[in-house]
Structure 1
Amino acid sequence: MIGITNSDLLPFSQFQSNVDTWLRNSILPYYPAARITCITVGAEVTESPGNASALVVPAMHNVLVALKKVGLHKKIKVSSTHSLGVLSRSFPPSAGAFNSSHAFFLKPMLEFLAENQSPFMIDIYPYYAYRDSPNNVSLDYALFESSSEVIDPNTGLLYTNMFDAQIDAIYFALMALNFRTIKVMVTETGWPSKGSSKEKAATPDNAQTYNTNLIRHVINNSGTPAKLGEELDIYIFSLFNENRKPGIESERNWGLFYPDQTSVYNLDFSGKGVLEMPANKNSTSFNGTTWCIASSNASQLDLQNAIDWACGSGNVDCSAIQPSQPCFEPDTLVSHASYAFNSYYQQNGATDVACSFGGTGVKSRQGSKL
């Protein structure tokens, strides 16, 4: 996804030649080797100072014209990203409504999106909902970990996490304006791993939990309560911590990696919810209700035999514990066996039988450390 900055909105909205030149220099030399699927025209313009909003739709039209000239308008979509502040109300989700002060540019933009089958792009951060209103939003609800449900009184729909509720608020806001075919794309979401003294929830464990659960939720294609089974396109923010970014401490700590390319914490992008390695690699943490780990009393021979079976006849994908792969460290039989055991356990219904491994496997509750 390629972004056109807010500072470029004026020249892009005024002259088609500016957009044609930009496309020729910044897109065509790299396409299709770079799999560019979207061009975002402006970023969170309703949050930016000045009157940039009025420039968005004209610039979007010019970008579309430029793409049509080179025959890429059906392969590269044109849209613009928004913060959740574009809504005047988001709870309950069924009452989701766009801020009326943005109507002058939102309606023509939504018409553009519907006509060209482009997505509505939104940046969603349950972290902020919890941080700013901890008395009304539980941490578990923000982290996809809640065992209770929030009921939308208007629809009766049940919500177990803030992420789904915020997305559905967008869908209901779109439907309220009779835009029922536009899909929602989440262009930013994530959780900070470090914050100021007042940001107690900004920790590596919470960041890992949020993104792990997010990935599992998306890959399962479960959709949201209002859009069951609807596929979601999600972009995790962000790849790297931004060590020079101004603002409070959390602003610099949303990344999966430090600027020196070492990992803040690791993620299983397969969505299987298997063993996750924390950044310090001195312990192995488990996220979930129950997990199957290797017994510390098992012999090395028994553990190796159990690993061989799990990764062979047990059909467990053990590529992640191979040398140089994400879960290879710590390089111990106990750690590798725990990965293989839990993978098999989760894939086979998390039953007692699936955690036997000849007596070398033991079940562990959420939060256990090895």
Structure 2
Amino acid sequence: MATVFKLIFAVSMLFTLLVFCRGSIVGVCYGRNADDLPTPDKVAELVQQHNIKYLRIYDSNIQVLKAFANTGVELMVGIPNSDLLALSQFQSNADSWLKNSILPYYPATKITYITVGAEVTESPNNASAQVVPAMHNVLTALKKVGLHRRIKVSSTHSLGVLSRSYPPSAGAFNSSHAFFLKPMLEFLAENQSPFMINIYPYYAYRDSPNNVSLDYALFESSSEVIDPNTGLLYTNMFDAQIDALYFALMALNFRTINVMVTETGWPSKGSPKEKAATPDNAQTYNTNLIRHVINNSGTPAKPGEELDVYIFSLFNENRKPGLESERNWGLFYPDQTSVYNLDFKGRGVVDVPKNSTFTGFNGTTWCIASSNVSQLDLQSALDWACGPGNVDCSAIQPSQPCFEPDTLISHASYAFNSYYQQNGASDVACSFGGAGVKVDKDPSYDNCLYMTTGTNKTAASNTTAMASTSSSSPSQIEVFVWASRFLLMTFLGLLNIA
């Protein structure tokens, strides 16, 4: 009997370690407020093609849930505000909703979160009082079928739930929401569910450009904003807003609740007064966001803290009301073509505006592919570089360091840069019929190293050098491997003792 208990203990420790080492994730919001979107089946194919592993949907649409069965994509399913009254009044309503909307599709469709209401404090018909009772009823329904540990229950909020967010250390919740926030926070803490927040630095910049710099909103700032109370240094607004929420939680003594960003992003098009709503700014924000998140950078107040983030949104939605920007947050057009290039693994190159001129560190520049040209022109330029251009393109072949991400723009960027560096790094060498652009940021990633002028280094030959110059601190994978071995040895030791 003692051996069985020791086995259970060791296995539970291993599962705990697996969760601990998961790392931050980046998902995408799949809104459907449009009349020209592809069918859910087509959307499921698109999502898989672009390595999107996590998706937020705003209701429990049957066709959507069916489409993502057996795809491995994890879904966050929403309960609309219009359903809160019924679910908050009677447990039987929550039981029926779960039975009809979730259980027929689970576990073939991976559902990991249920969001009860969305930004209720911002809705015209404030349903705040109904949120927590509905959350309790949904959780009870999950407990009845044994899914309460696999599917977490929470609710999403706008940053307007805070009355103060600057400086971050002075972050505080709006007292007018206290009547429902306190029981909600108690629910989240007790059930180890995250506080879900929607954060948009774009709006902060758009509405107050004299107080917020564009670079600070885009993760591009070279200067720092100092919190006068803590001395913490902030180089971007995203971190500052997240920390304001953490400090608000700590002020109420809810220190164990994690934060999850359920919406953030940047529009690619806006009205004449929304000059910052451009494809280049949207690409810059989301690319920098992804890198920031998957590197587990954390925030100044929570360094190294995991933070799950969902980018808004998958498609442009033509039926959304308001300014032009409201209909142009999508990563994809309804015809499934990309609005701009984005790598969800955080490893791809960042494209820049065509005809831009840069001067890099010590004059170093690189040449990458532009997303402003057609796929046909890009493919032709890549074929020329790897053929008559005499570029060694072995590094972008399958299983080689620069093959992933397996996209035309990434492969072309590596080939363009190799040709550019081998031919004197001149403007002409980065032309490629208008398909190439010069940048001053090293596009290298992981073990894929982009050469510079005067070197013949390839990505494959530099794998060892890359590893030797990396940070001396162990990676999550190294920690996981070490800890797994430790637990395995401990487990075997326990069996021997028994």
Settle same-fold status: TM greater than 0.5.
yes
**Which sections of structure 1, spanning at least 5 residues, go unmatched?**
361-370
Instruction: Report the Cα distance in structure 1 between the residues aligned to 2:418 and 2:403, rounded to whole angstroms.
Output: 9
CA shift for structure 1 position 51: 3.5
CA shift for structure 1 position 270: 1.4
Q: Which of the residues 356, 360, 366 maps onto 1:292?
A: 366
Instruction: Report the Cα distance in structure 1 between the residues aligned to 2:419 and 2:252, rounded to whole angstroms.
Output: 54
Instruction: Report the Cα distance in structure 2 between the residues aligned to 1:169 and 1:328, rounded to whole angstroms.
Output: 37
In structure 2, the CA distance between the partners of 1:103 and 1:359, relative to structure 1 (3 Å rule), is closer
AA aligned to 1:209 is: T
> How does 1:237-316 map onto structure 2 within 5 Å?
237-276=312-351, 292-293=366-367, 303-308=389-394, 310-311=395-396, 315-316=400-401
Instruction: Report the Cα distance in structure 2 between the residues aligned to 1:291 and 1:74, rounded to whole angstroms.
Output: 51
Q: Which of the residues 395, 409, 412 maps onto 1:327?
A: 409
Does residue 317 (structure 1) correspond to residue 399 (structure 2)? The answer is no
Aligned to 1:363: none
Q: Which of the residues 276, 298, 309 maps onto 1:223?
A: 298
Aligned to 1:153: 228
Cα deviations by residue, 1:118-137 (Å, 9 ceiling, x for unpaired): 00000000000000010000
CA contact (8 A) 1:157 1:226 kept: yes
Instruction: Report the Cα distance in structure 1 between the residues aligned to 2:281 and 2:332, rounded to whole angstroms.
Output: 15
Aligned to 1:366: none
Cα deviations by residue, 1:104-126 (Å, 9 ceiling, x for unpaired): 00000000000000000000000
CA contact (8 A) 1:41 1:78 kept: yes
- RCO (CA 8 Å, sep 6+): is it higher in 1 or 2? 2
CA contact (8 A) 1:42 1:81 kept: yes
Does residue 122 (structure 1) correspond to residue 207 (structure 2)? The answer is no
Instruction: Report the Cα distance in structure 1 between the residues aligned to 2:191 and 2:233, rounded to whole angstroms.
Output: 32
Moved more, 173-182 or 15-24: 15-24
CA shift for structure 1 position 23: 0.6
CA shift for structure 1 position 214: 0.2
Q: Which of the residues 189, 194, 214 maps onto 2:264?
A: 189
CA contact (8 A) 1:275 1:285 kept: no
Moved more, 63-72 or 299-308: 299-308
Q: What TM-score comes out, normalization by structure 1 length?
A: 0.85
Aligned to 2:214: 139
Cα deviations by residue, 1:189-239 (Å, 9 ceiling, x for unpaired): 000000000000000000000000000000100100000000110000000
CA shift for structure 1 position 306: 2.6
CA contact (8 A) 1:268 1:276 kept: no
AA aligned to 1:316 is: P
Does residue 7 (structure 1) correspond to residue 73 (structure 2)? The answer is no
CA contact (8 A) 1:90 1:96 kept: yes
Aligned to 2:378: none
CA shift for structure 1 position 327: 2.2
AA aligned to 1:185 is: M
CA shift for structure 1 position 169: 0.3
Aligned length, in residue pairs: 350
Instruction: Report the Cα distance in structure 1 between the residues aligned to 2:368 and 2:390, rounded to whole angstroms.
Output: 11
CA shift for structure 1 position 302: 7.7
Instruction: Report the Cα distance in structure 2 between the residues aligned to 1:291 and 1:30, rounded to whole angstroms.
Output: 51
Does residue 210 (structure 1) correspond to residue 285 (structure 2)? The answer is yes
CA contact (8 A) 1:89 1:97 kept: yes
Aligned to 1:103: 178
Moved more, 325-334 or 64-73: 325-334
Q: Which of the residues 310, 314, 319 maps onto 1:235?
A: 310
In structure 2, the CA distance between the partners of 1:6 and 1:285, relative to structure 1 (3 Å rule), is farther
CA shift for structure 1 position 358: 3.9
- The two structures, once aligned, show a CA RMSD in angstroms of 3.4
Instruction: Report the Cα distance in structure 1 between the residues aligned to 2:447 and 2:366, rounded to whole angstroms.
Output: 11
In structure 2, the CA distance between the partners of 1:355 and 1:56, relative to structure 1 (3 Å rule), is farther
CA shift for structure 1 position 320: 3.8
AA aligned to 2:248 is: A
Instruction: Report the Cα distance in structure 2 between the residues aligned to 1:171 and 1:357, rounded to whole angstroms.
Output: 47
AA aligned to 1:306 is: D
Instruction: Report the Cα distance in structure 2 between the residues aligned to 1:332 and 1:254, rounded to whole angstroms.
Output: 29
Percent identity of paired positions between Structure 1 and Structure 2? 73
Instruction: Report the Cα distance in structure 1 between the residues aligned to 2:399 and 2:143, rounded to whole angstroms.
Output: 51
CA contact (8 A) 2:348 2:405 kept: no
CA contact (8 A) 1:304 1:333 kept: no
Instruction: Report the Cα distance in structure 2 between the residues aligned to 1:88 and 1:139, rounded to whole angstroms.
Output: 23
Q: Secondary structure at the match of 1:271?
A: coil
Instruction: Report the Cα distance in structure 2 between the residues aligned to 1:306 and 1:166, rounded to whole angstroms.
Output: 45
Aligned to 1:75: 150
Instruction: Report the Cα distance in structure 2 between the residues aligned to 1:336 and 1:350, rounded to whole angstroms.
Output: 10
In structure 2, the CA distance between the partners of 1:196 and 1:272, relative to structure 1 (3 Å rule), is same
Q: Secondary structure at the match of 2:393?
A: helix
Aligned to 2:116: 41
CA shift for structure 1 position 344: 7.4
**Which sections of structure 2, spanning at least 5 residues, go unmatched?**
1-75, 370-380, 421-435, 459-498
Cα deviations by residue, 1:299-350 (Å, 9 ceiling, x for unpaired): 7658544322x347995232445xxx352797995379689x9987455798
Cα deviations by residue, 1:35-76 (Å, 9 ceiling, x for unpaired): 211100000001112340000000000000000001000011
Instruction: Report the Cα distance in structure 1 between the residues aligned to 2:357 and 2:150, rounded to whole angstroms.
Output: 42
CA contact (8 A) 1:307 1:337 kept: no
CA contact (8 A) 2:385 2:419 kept: no
Instruction: Report the Cα distance in structure 2 between the residues aligned to 1:186 and 1:51, rounded to whole angstroms.
Output: 22
Moved more, 27-36 or 192-201: 27-36
Q: Secondary structure at the match of 1:24?
A: helix
Instruction: Report the Cα distance in structure 2 between the residues aligned to 1:275 and 1:210, rounded to whole angstroms.
Output: 11
Larger radius of gyration: 2
Q: Secondary structure at the match of 2:344?
A: coil
Moved more, 239-248 or 122-131: 239-248
CA contact (8 A) 2:351 2:368 kept: no
Moved more, 326-335 or 262-271: 326-335
CA shift for structure 1 position 22: 0.9
